[in-house]
């Protein structure tokens, strides 16, 4: 099954192929970066953030209209949040097979360090695989090095390995 990767115009350019290649190693899907005309919605001026739940509502609608069936991963640069969450690295909706990840807090520069594409790709790969893991039916995993461990801060993502732990891997095989 294909995993369509929608790359927003404002998301960092030049790392799409790297993300797609890395995800292919981790996930039982064929990632395909494609042109998308999806317009990012959900911006909340007062918070200067984007409501990820509202954004996923629009993505659900877009998907329905365009007749796509498989999972979609949208990559944006907007800082994401949700009611009850100060910020989010990403959000997924299993019922519609749509997920969004944000690069806003994945780059070194957000934390005052020099930018590094290698670091950014590494974190984006893990966060993307995590959200797509949810789309495939996986829940959060207590093992800190597993892709499915719930990352609350950047250090959590940095601690993860680019793989599902044996338990999650086994569950993934049962699900697919
Ligand atoms: Zn999660
Ligand atoms: Zn796990």
Residue with tokens 């044996």: 166
Say which CATH number the domain at 42 has.
Answer: 3.40.390.10
Ligand nearest the Cα of residue 165 is 2
Q: Tens digit of pLDDT for each residue in 46-105? A: 999 999 999 999 999 999 999 889 999 999 999 999 999 999 999 999 999 999 999 999
DSSP bridge partners of 3: 31
Q: Which residues surround ligand 2, an ion (CB under 5 A)?
A: 141, 143, 146, 148, 165, 168
pTM given for the model: 0.97
Whether the Cβ atoms of residue 50 and residue 40 lie closer than 8 Å to each other:
yes
CA gap 39, 114 in Å, rounded: 30
Catalytic one of 22, 131, 145, 155: 131
Ligand nearest the Cα of residue 101 is 1
Could you list the residue range(s) of the whole structural domain that residue 67 is in? 2-175
DSSP state of 96: T
Q: Tens digit of pLDDT for each residue in 110-135? A: 999 999 999 999 999 999 999 999 99
Number of domains in the chain: 1
Whether the Cβ atoms of residue 131 and residue 73 lie closer than 8 Å to each other:
yes
Whether the Cβ atoms of residue 74 and residue 37 lie closer than 8 Å to each other:
no
CA of 131 relative to ligand 1 center, distance in Å: 6
Catalytic annotation present for 131 = yes
Average pLDDT of the chain is 96
């Amino acid at each position: 099954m294909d995993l369509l990767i929608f790359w927003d115009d404002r998301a960092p350019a030049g790392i799409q192929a790297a993300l797609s290649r890395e995800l292919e190693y981790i996930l039982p899907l064929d990632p395909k970066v494609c042109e998308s005309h999806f317009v990012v919605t959900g911006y909340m001026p007062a918070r200067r953030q984007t409501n990820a739940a509202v954004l996923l509502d629009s993505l659900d609608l877009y998907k329905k209209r365009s007749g796509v069936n498989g999972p979609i991963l949208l990559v944006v640069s907007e800082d994401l949040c949700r009611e009850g969450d100060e910020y989010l690295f990403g959000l997924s909706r299993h019922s519609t097979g749509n997920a969004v990840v944000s690069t806003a807090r994945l780059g070194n520069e957000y934390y005052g360090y020099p930018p590094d594409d290698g670091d950014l790709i590494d974190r984006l790969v893990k966060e993307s695989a995590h959200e797509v893991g949810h789309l495939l039916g996986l829940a959060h995993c207590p093992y800190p090095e597993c892709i499915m461990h719930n990352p609350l801060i950047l250090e959590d993502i940095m601690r993860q390995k680019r793989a599902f732990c044996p338990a999650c891997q086994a569950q993934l095989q049962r699900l697919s």
